[in-house]
Amino acid sequence: MARITLTDVRKSYSGMEVIHGVSIDIADEEFVVIVGPSGCGKSTLLRMVAGLEEITSGTIAIDGRVVNDLEPRARDIAMVFQNYALYPHMTVRENMAYGLKISGMPKAEIAERVARSAEMLELQPYLDRKPRALSGGQRQRVAMGRALVRDPAAFLLDEPLSNLDAKLRVQMRLQIKELQRRVGTTSLYVTHDQVEAMTLADRLIVMNAGVAEQIDTPMRIYERPATTFVAGFIGSPAMNILAATVTPDGAGLTLPGGAVLACPAPADPGQPILFGIRPEHIRAVTQPGGVGAIELTVLAVETLGADAYAHCAFPGHVTSAAEAMVVRLPGNAALKPGERLHAVFDTGAAHFFDPATGRRVGPRR
């Protein structure tokens, strides 16, 4: 097993920096997920750890040994790719054994490792089939098996589930987590899917435009996002983030459209602040005039079975679809676009951010 340490790792192409000083110490047996939107640099960062991309500056160490200049095969890591990278002319057994065979490992040991890994991944019935005769999920398990037989110090996984349908992704992520728990191998995993990231990770690296915006446990990131980007990316639906102004008496916030919410904020009276509240922390009430109730206009309703989500605007305030307030409702809520909804905000769950920097200010209330 291995400890992986990144210290101020940077990457530039033609003088333009695309990875901006990422540092993290990944403990032995830890499962760390790099998550972020397309183009944020997460796969580039993983490929630098693998040795498939040169780093521009900084250091990458595995078990205390700096590996900046080592070839991928000398780093004692195994990588699982999005496209499986299986040899189409080989059987499952041959694909899993190939890396061990070319390393000169004795045949008996190869057979034993392949059999053990095939059992862990439930691949025994498919060992003599070729990849074309397998489903997408089975092919992904073969790719994982090929990595597993090597008994590496660390696993690196680059969006391994992105080609699978939604149901199969759920099944496979549970299997990946269970496999990692059983073998205890340090793992670094890349995904753009924040649900996948939250369910798999011991810790997350949330990437945006080459910057590690926040590194922490999934729940810590969910409960205390460090920036507006993290707040909007982690959580489904995303956190509502509203441009507000602290009232003259400092006891509340003036929201878009002029509505006033009793909620002290960590800013001076009259100052702008970004107010964040998750959809699950807004309660819809049927009658107007309740304590703290604020009137909203329903723009659209999404029904998802047990829950529904109303996309709303403040009356008199022009709101695009991207700016709409999202409120969680019971699945049987009978609201239609154009109707009014009265919402009570759980201000104890409020978050505040600096409008200039987007960074978190003050403690969560």
- Claim to verify: residue 44 and residue 25 sit in the same structural domain: yes
pLDDT at 1 over 70: no
- Claim to verify: residue 218 and residue 250 sit in the same structural domain: no
The maximal CA–CA distance of the chain, rounded, in angstroms, is 79
Backbone angles phi, psi at 111, to 5 degrees: -60, -40
Q: What is the rounded CA–CA span in Å between residue 285 and residue 310?
A: 13
Mapped onto helix, strand or coil, the DSSP state of residue 69 is coil
Q: Tell which of 233, 250, 265 closes a domain.
A: 233
**What pLDDT was estimated at residue 305?**
83
Tracing tokens 């029904």 back to the chain, one arrives at 303
- Claim to verify: residue 164 and residue 74 sit in the same structural domain: yes
Residue 345 C-alpha from the chain's centroid:
27
Ordered DSSP codes for 90-130: S-HHHHHHHHHHHTT--HHHHHHHHHHHHHHTT-GGGTTS-
**What pLDDT was estimated at residue 88?**
93
- Claim to verify: residue 165 and residue 282 sit in the same structural domain: no
| 64-68, 100-104, 199-203, range with the lowest pLDDT | 100-104
- Claim to verify: residue 264 and residue 218 sit in the same structural domain: no
294 in Cβ contact with 205 (< 8 Å): no
Quick: pLDDT tens for 204-228: 999 999 999 999 999 999 999 999 9
Q: Is residue 32 part of a domain?
A: yes
- Claim to verify: residue 40 and residue 143 sit in the same structural domain: yes
- Claim to verify: residue 155 and residue 54 sit in the same structural domain: yes
Q: Is residue 361 part of a domain?
A: no
Select from 87, 64, 86 the least CA-distant residue to 76.
Answer: 64
- Claim to verify: residue 249 and residue 109 sit in the same structural domain: no
Structural domain total, the chain:
2
Q: Tell which of 206, 233, 260 closes a domain.
A: 233
Q: How many CB atoms lie within 10 A of CB 270?
A: 11
- Claim to verify: residue 154 and residue 37 sit in the same structural domain: yes
Whole-prediction pTM value? 0.91
Query: 321 falls in which pLDDT band (50, 70, 90)?
Result: low
Query: 365 falls in which pLDDT band (50, 70, 90)?
Result: very low
Q: Is residue 364 part of a domain?
A: no
Domain of residue 195: give its range.
4-233
- Claim to verify: residue 76 and residue 189 sit in the same structural domain: yes
CATH number where 10 lies: 3.40.50.300
pLDDT at 347 over 60: yes
Select from 139, 158, 157 the least CA-distant residue to 88.
Answer: 139
- Claim to verify: residue 250 and residue 179 sit in the same structural domain: no
Q: Is residue 363 part of a domain?
A: no
- Claim to verify: residue 251 and residue 182 sit in the same structural domain: no
